[in-house]
Copies of this chain bind each other. A is one copy, B any other.
Amino acid sequence: MKATILTIGDEILIGQIVDTNSVSIAKHLNQAGVVVHEKCSIGDDAGEITHTVRRAMQESEVVIITGGLGPTKDDITKKTLAQLFDSEMRYDEAVAQHVEQMLTSRGIEFNALNRSQAEVPVACTVLHNAHGTAPGMWFEREGRVVISLPGVPYEMEHLMEDEVMPRLKAHFSLRQIVHRTLITSGLAESILAKRIEQWEEALPAYLKLAYLPSAGIVRLRLSAYEVEGRQVAEEIEHRFAELQHLIPDYVVGFETATVEEQVHRCLMDRGQKLAVAESCTGGKIASKFTAMAGASAYFLAGLTTYSNEAKIKVLGVQASTIEAYGAVSEQTAREMAEGARRVTGADYAVATTGIAGPSGGSAEKPVGTVWFAVATPEGITTALHLCGTDRGQVIDRATAYAIRMLRDALKWG
């Protein structure tokens, strides 16, 4: 079964926001076996909305729309869908009460604009938006389902989980989509492709292989869409096992579990503690760990010591070390990691110090130069990586390297 995701809003087309709604919707649909056939973003324009929803209904059984449901004049999705489904509007008392209650609890007056949020097309089934004031809507026509959700990510997410997915599963008989992802490191994409060429050529037609290269790693994803039966599932597992045996030294992880999730789980399981000492990554490593629920069980502190004085005062780096070798050096990285372990009492500490740019580079230490250190109960490991030339790129790559070093240290620690 196919779906089209449609996100509405001029702010998407002018690049004012990053569309994460469609990512989350795509994940939900995939998990349930619905193939996302197309994602599309258009502006707040009635003609465009009508035209695109009609086209999507020709190509997909399910159309999920987000955005344009607010109380202000620029929000026209509801009115446009009502016209498309030749529907009058009605005042929904239950929605009105919910909206009034939500606003009153926040001390906001329930005015005419908010009252208009309780106006819904007669043709739709209302989807209760427990976390916001704009109700979701479910339309059906000629075997097609069109769903309209608010664009606020948090509200949309709860509606997908609590209202949309259960209804889709009840409404359609869905098949399975299987994705198996192998994370590799150490082989360039072209070399890796050469290495697994024969295996790839022998894959059955229903198995698709994708290469997803990114900073320092290549993900290999094996996908089967809308499959059925136990034999197919076994075949996929078999092929996936073969692939691992072809490149055992380069496999660094599986599935969509990120490296930080692996570290997270490992530290939770072992009851060990972590501290982070950052310079050029500026808090990004800490925020990756603390974004995960339960991190407080092992994450003691993230000490972003940007200035030399902070490195000395907070982490106990020797002033003479910085003077002799510079803040971006193996010695400084080492003392930062050791210091973070000592100050916090953590079992493991990872440190980064580098030049994120755009300024601060030299011939000897160009922008992108980053020193890493991981301190463990057994000792200390250091590494040097050139992490690119763009500030954001350097921060992201250095964050990824640091977390991978930590994962490696945990594996053998």
List residues of chain A with CB under 8 Å of any chain B CB. Answer: 9-20, 22-27, 30, 35-44, 48, 52, 70-75, 103, 106, 108-109, 111-114, 131, 152, 154, 157, 177, 179, 181, 188-191, 193-194, 200, 208-213, 221, 223, 256, 275-276, 278, 280-287, 289-291, 293-296, 299-307, 309-310, 313-314, 343-345, 356-360, 388-393, 395
Contacts and interface: CB of A to CB of B under 8 A. Distances in A.
Contacts of A359: 293-294
A358 B291 contact: no
Nearest to A360: B296
A302 B283 contact: yes
Contacts of A313: 343-344
A345 B295 CA distance: 30
Given A190-B71, A304-B302, A20 B18 contact: yes
Total identical chains = 2
A65 to B, nearest CB: 14
A118 to B, nearest CB: 12
Contacts of A38: 13, 40-42, 48, 52
A193 B71 CA distance: 9
A134 to B, nearest CB: 11
Contacts of A287: 281-284, 286-287, 395
A69 B400 CA distance: 24
6 contacts: A15-B27, A19-B23, A108-B190, A284-B287, A287-B395, A290-B395
Nearest to A399: B287
Given A194-B111, A296-B306, A290 B282 contact: yes
Contacts of A131: 389
Given A16-B221, A286-B286, A302-B302, A194 B113 contact: yes
A369 to B, nearest CB: 15
A299 B283 CA distance: 12
A108 B189 CA distance: 10
A70 B214 CA distance: 12
Contact of A282 (B25, B39, B181, B302): B302
A208 B10 contact: yes
Contacts of A310: 275, 300-301, 343-344
A367 to B, nearest CB: 11
A282 B289 contact: yes
A343 B356 CA distance: 25
A309 B345 contact: yes
B23 A36 contact: no
Given A278-B302, A291-B395, 9 more contacts: A11-B212, A15-B25, A17-B212, A38-B41, A73-B200, A276-B283, A293-B357, A302-B304, A310-B343
Nearest to A311: B301
A356 B388 CA distance: 34
Contacts of A360: 296
A302 B111 CA distance: 43
A391 B291 contact: yes
A194 B71 CA distance: 10
Contacts of A12: 26, 39
B40 A73 contact: no
6 tightest Cβ-Cβ pairs between the two chains A and B: A282-B290, A283-B286, A15-B26, A302-B304, A283-B283, A15-B27
A159 B339 CA distance: 43
Contacts of A22: 15, 41
Nearest to A193: B72
